[in-house]
Amino acid sequence: MFTNCPLCTDFGFLYYSKDSRKYYRCANCSAVFMDPSSFLNYNDECERYLEHNNNVHDAGYQNFVKPIIDAVTQRFAKDMVGLDFGSGTGPVVSMLLRDKGYSISEYDPFFNNQTELLTKSYDFIVCCEVIEHFYKPQKEFNQLKNMLNPGGELICMTNMFTEDLNFDKWHYKNDPTHVIFYHALSIEYIAKAFEFSKFEISDRLIIFTK
């Protein structure tokens, strides 16, 4: 069995199946993606996000997003403008950056759907635990890249897929809203396909530069 990859459109072969969910692995970019028939509907997806315990004042949560905070503070001056894309129910990244004097807006298709924010341009865009939720990653990465100013950066955090992990026991796939997992080859494809000038991968942190 195979189906087309939502990221690069090449073919993906059946990689894993359990219960009602099927996952495919792309023969080209090595992304692993869920069969669209298993996607949650809008209301169920929203309810799932509301279950997340995203208390912005929780020290553990703040520590979890520290790689993104450090990336922004080390690479951008406080007069530069940012967007927290997919800010969710607890926009801890925005709060922590504002506390440090940064100007950052919050966009989320479920909880802060201010579409006018998508017509503006930014020096940096952060996607904290967001890109694994992309149903149409081709469209979404293209949109994000086009919202960046020249030299701007897209700073993402997600758990990467590697060949040596035990997919059956991998907790990250158990969230039904996680529909695509990126391999290092997927990141390389994104950088090339969407004409980023460079990219960096450091554990969970991925940075694309326009």
Spans of all domains in the chain = 2-209
Give the mean pLDDT of 64-81.
Answer: 94
Q: What is the pTM of this model?
A: 0.93
For residue range 78-108, list pLDDT tens digits in order.
999 999 999 887 788 999 999 999 999 999 9
- CATH number for 2-209 (one of 3.40.50.150, 1.20.1250.20, 3.40.50.10420, 3.40.50.970): it is 3.40.50.150
For residue range 183-206, list pLDDT tens digits in order.
999 999 999 999 999 999 999 999
The mean pLDDT value of the chain amounts to 92
Q: What proportion of the chain, given as a percentage, has pLDDT over 70?
A: 94
Q: CA dist 110 to 33, 42, 89, 90, Å?
A: 22, 9, 9, 12
User: Given this model, what pLDDT does residue 81 score?
Assistant: 96
Percentages helix, strand, coil for the chain, rounded to the nearest 5?
35, 30, 35
Whether the predicted pLDDT of 60 surpasses 70: no
Question: What's the rounded Cα separation, in Å, for the pair 66 and 37?
Answer: 35
Question: What's the rounded Cα separation, in Å, for the pair 192 and 196?
Answer: 6
Question: What's the rounded Cα separation, in Å, for the pair 138 and 194?
Answer: 9
